[in-house]
Structures are given as structure tokens and as C-alpha cells.
Amino acid sequence: PENAMKLKYSLILLASAAFASCQDFLDRYPLEEPASSEFYSNEDELTLAVNGAYRSLYWLSNDDVPYQLFIDGATDIVYIRGTYANMTDMRRGEGSAETATFKTIWDTFYGYIARCNNLLDNMHNARGRVSETFYNRIEAQARFLRAYNYFYLVNLYGDVPFAEHVLDWQQPRLPKSPKAEIVARLYADLDFAKDHLPAKWTGNDAGRATRGAAFGLKARIALYANDYETAAAAADSVIQSKAYEIYPSYEKLFRHSGAGSSEAMLYMPFLLGTQTNQIPKYVGTRLANCYSIIVPTQVLVDMYQCTDGRRIDRSPAYDPKKPYENRDPRLGYSILYPGQWHAGYKFEVHPDSTKTSAVINGETVRINNTEVTNAYGTFTGYIEKKYYDESDVPGKITQCELNFMLMRYAEVLLTYAEARIELNRIDQSVIDAINAVRQRKDVMMPAATLSMSRDELRELVRYERTIELAMEGFRLLDIRRWKIVEHVLPGYMLGKRTKADWYTPVVPAFSDYGKPEYPDESIFQKLGFASFNRDIQYSWPIPQAEIDRNPLLKD
């Protein structure tokens, strides 16, 4: 609807205008203290500053692809071709404090935190000149955005310097603070935010952080800190608010129709002329003139259950000769596999399939199959379907306006369920939370029940986080907190089948940690071997350049 489209665009228009207007000012602070002492003195200036702080949501690569898509490439469920973002090296246990990506990401988050602190340190200039409600809402948004940035820092790097104020440029060095202490401070920020943010913004303010997003972020931070009591309580506050609901179609959730739906709690908005993304270019097929750089793996495909709710090694519904039939519907909604049609092309990756079918001007014709003939077609034999809306015209491949969801209600429901399971407080509310996700109208997987054991429910909720949130940037931090990195990453990344064994039926076994294991890996092409390196794969090293500038950061 037209009104929904207007709301979709409101935040990015504000943030982009603020970004263009105050970027230089914010980046130079505190070297220009006289200017800051006069700024932040009225509603317009506070709005301008907080809109600039909303750039925090845009954690983007050079081609405006959200890093959340790249970071799954440091895990077992996504393969990234080439050296993009160094994620393949990280998955292999390679890299060091000198690795460029570690510094790029470090600088990104601390740069955004500095913007938030700059506003929070100087907004007192407006006290008494604006209403208390307006003032508190500005502060709440800045504290929310600061907490959002620190969430990534503490979970990617561990103990890091914690700054609640702009540093004195003459004494800029801070020691590391323990992660637990930082988390406690973030709780305080988010408690303030939830007390002063509205349940919903309207008009040009739509898209800003809400009370529900503050509770959702607190639940996420607590879950990753293994603080299940806080995680369950914060997630339950979201549930009890009844402000959000599961969007009925998983298939359409990551298209324009679902990206701004009632399931979306926080999102990265895009708009032609101000900020667009190239997600389709990076995830799409060669047939659609895309790069197939970020692609799902065989391991991820084999993790999807059969429609009877059993793993493929346990289900009589699984036929290795027809491996994509009778599977969790989210497989077909999330992943383009051989034989499917997408963007007007039939996806085929057998090495002899040098021709494929396409619909051109309403007619089905045979064309050259560049997904096979191009040397840089998908290396795994699969393509990601999330965040590729087939209704977009070809020009939108590199100028895509599709929102990228940063927090959605399904995540909050799974956080609530997992936290309650870990606390061993399993009741019908836990079952209902799992089933709300698992029994979405176009998914309808078998329901969880109270008769299931705690271990069974733990396994199920971990399955749901892996499958429901696949390719959304959660997997690395999940396998870290579950302490299974060393059990799921080492070994070869498996690519497409070899031609000789393309049709060889195979049913993998599964390890105790949910990793598919194949009786003969020689039937797959190999995409590199991963070794376990605790110094890289459980937390990233602080960049050496930062340690050189600040010896207090040495271990």
C-alpha cells in the first residue's frame, strides 16, 4: 500500500540527510569543542544528530552489502567465493591481529559509538528548551544505538574498551573492560530506552527504535551472555506486548511484502537516490547477471528436516535420489536448488547442463547456462533466495531498495524458548513460542509438545535457530556460545558433486553436534580445509594497530 511505502522510506530519508549534513562535524569532534558547545540546543539539532547516529544500523561492505550476510561465511552454513571480507580465512582458522577485516569492523563500531557518545555528552544544551518527552526519546535512541554497537563488539572480540563519553583527545587510551561489566551497562542503556521509547512510531518517524526493539536487543544481549533469566524476561515483555506477530509467509518474508511487516522489529532501510544495496548481485545466479558470491552449503541443505520433523538420516520420507522432496518448506524458500525456477530461469548446475530454460517475452526458450559455463558460478551448487525479490526489475540488482531485517519477532520467540529451556522452566509458553515459528502458515512443521524431554527441546530450538535464521548473520555467534565451534567447523568445505558421482545416492550420518558427516567425501569437490584455531574462531583478536596505539589493550 502507498502509505506503507511512505513509512518504509521515512527513516532512511532522515538518516541520510543527517549523515550528509553532520558527518564532518561528528567525525572531527572533539577537536572543535566550541562548535559542540553551541550545537544540540534545539529540536532540529537533536533530531539531526540522532539521525546521524542511526547510521549505526548500516554495517555495510564497500558494495553496500550488509556484513550480516558475510559473517555467516565464517561458519559451516555459507561459502563465500574469493577473499571477500576475509570470512573464508576465518572459517579455516586463519588470520591474525593483522587481518584487515578485524580492524575494519572494530573501527566501524567504535566510530558509531563515538557519534552516540558525542550526542549524549552534549545534548544537555537543549535541556529546558525542548519538552522532557522529546529530550528523553532522543537520549533513549542514542543509548539504544550505542548498545547495538557494543553488542557486536563484545561478542566478536570479547573484552573491549568501554566508553560512555567522548574520549579526551589528549588522553584517549582506555583499558579493556570485562564483557560481563559491559553487558550490565548495556542493560542499563536499554532499560532507559524501553522506558522512554514509544511502542510504535508514526509518520516520518516510522522505522526508529521502539520499546519492543529495546526489549528485543536486551534479550539478544542477555542470551549471548548466557544470562537466561534476563533473556527470558526481556523476550517475554516483547511477547506480552502483542505488538508483533509472525508473518504468515516465510517465502515472502524476505521480499518487499514481508520486509516491513509486523514481524520486523528493526531493519536497515534502503531507498533509491539515498542508500541502496547490492545484495541480489552478490547472492543471485549467473543466469540473472549476478555473482553467486555468498552461497549456502551442502551442510546447511542437509540440516533441513523432513516434513515429518525428523533428520534426513532418520526419516523414512527422505529419498537420497530425490533429496529435495518431503523437506522442511523453508529449504525451498531460502535456498535455490537444482530444478527450481527463479528470476525467470531454470536453475541447473550439472556440468553437462550447458543449456537451460528461460522465460523470455512470455515464451519458454533454451539459453546458454552461464551458471555452468562461467568459471565463477556457484561453487556449492546452491544459491541464496533470501533478500532477492524476483519482482525487482534487473536494474535493482545493484540498486536494491529491499529492507534488510536486523531483528524480527521469530528471533525473540526462539530466544524466549531457549532461555526457558536452559533454566529448566519448560511450560506451555515455551512450546507455544517454538510452534509460532515452526508452524508459520506456509511452513507447518510438526509441533513441539510438552511430552518432549528437555534435551529434545534444546535440540529442536537449536535447529530452529539454525534453519529459521539461516543466512541472517547469527550462526557464528550461536556456535560460539553453544561451544561447538571445534566440532562443526574443522574439515573440508564441500562443494558441488563430482561429475562421476553426481547422482550417487548418499545419506549422511550426523555427529552429536548436528554436523552432517558423509561416508565418502570424495564425491564432492573440495573448497578448502578448515582447522580449529581457538584464538580466531571463539573471539577475534584486537587489531594490532589498536594495540600499538594503546598498550593497555595487550593481554
Sequence-distant (6+) residues with CB within 8 A of 258 are 247, 249, 252, 264
Residue 30: its pLDDT value, please? 38
Of the spans 3-7, 80-84, 116-120, which averages the highest pLDDT? 116-120
Question: Is the pLDDT confidence value at 9 over 70?
Answer: no
Residue 260: its pLDDT value, please? 84
Question: Is the pLDDT confidence value at 383 over 90?
Answer: yes
Question: Is the pLDDT confidence value at 156 over 90?
Answer: yes
Residue 283, SS3 per DSSP: helix
**Nine-digit cell at 98?**
593483522
Question: Is the pLDDT confidence value at 33 over 60?
Answer: no
Q: pLDDT digits over 34-48, tens only? A: 355 678 999 999 999
Q: pLDDT digits over 273-328, tens only? A: 999 999 999 999 999 999 999 999 999 999 999 999 999 999 999 999 999 999 99
CA distance 246 to 482: 26
Sequence-distant (6+) residues with CB within 8 A of 299 are 76, 77, 494, 515, 516
- pTM of the complete model: 0.94
Residue 39: its pLDDT value, please? 85
Residue 169: its pLDDT value, please? 63
Specify the amino acid at residue 447.
A
CA distance 537 to 486: 9
**Nine-digit cell at 360?**
523470455
CB atoms within 10 A of CB 519: 9
**Nine-digit cell at 16?**
541520510
Cell 522532557: give the residue: 132
CB-based burial of residue 288 (10 Å sphere; 0-12 exposed, 13-18 middle, 19+ buried)? buried
With a pLDDT cut of 90, the percent of the chain lying above it is 88
Question: Is the pLDDT confidence value at 227 over 50?
Answer: yes
Q: How confident is the model at residue 28 (pLDDT cuts 50, 70, 90)?
A: very low
Pairing mode, if any, of strands 294-296 and 363-368? Answer: unpaired
First to last CA, the chain: 55
DSSP secondary structure letter of residue 404: E
Q: How confident is the model at residue 483 (pLDDT cuts 50, 70, 90)?
A: very high
What's the average model confidence in pLDDT over 124-128?
96
What's the average model confidence in pLDDT over 529-552?
95
DSSP secondary structure letter of residue 127: B
Angle between helices 409-422 and 228-241 (to 10 degrees): 140
Residue 37: its pLDDT value, please? 62
CA distance 104 to 92: 20
Provide the mean pLDDT of the chain: 92
Q: pLDDT digits over 314-337, tens only? A: 999 999 999 999 999 999 999 999
Pairing mode, if any, of strands 345-346 and 341-342? Answer: antiparallel
Q: How confident is the model at residue 451 (pLDDT cuts 50, 70, 90)?
A: very high
Residue 486: its pLDDT value, please? 97
Residue 170: its pLDDT value, please? 59
Q: pLDDT digits over 489-538, tens only? A: 999 999 999 999 999 999 999 999 999 999 999 999 999 999 999 999 99
Residue 62: its pLDDT value, please? 83
**Nine-digit cell at 131?**
519538552
Residue 321: its pLDDT value, please? 96
CA distance 75 to 489: 7
CA distance 112 to 452: 44
**Nine-digit cell at 328?**
522442511
Q: Is the dihedral of CA 148, 383, 325, 317 positive or negative?
A: negative
Question: Is the pLDDT confidence value at 249 over 80?
Answer: yes
SS3 content of the chain, % helix, strand, coil (to 5): 50, 10, 40
Q: How far is CA 75 from CA 115, 302, 397, 413, in A?
A: 31, 15, 26, 24
Cell 587481518: give the residue: 99
Q: How confident is the model at residue 32 (pLDDT cuts 50, 70, 90)?
A: very low
CA distance 450 to 430: 9
CB-based burial of residue 317 (10 Å sphere; 0-12 exposed, 13-18 middle, 19+ buried)? middle
Helices (H), 54-178: 67-71, 87-91, 100-122, 132-157
Question: Is the pLDDT confidence value at 18 over 70?
Answer: no
CA distance 467 to 165: 39
Residue 555: its pLDDT value, please? 78
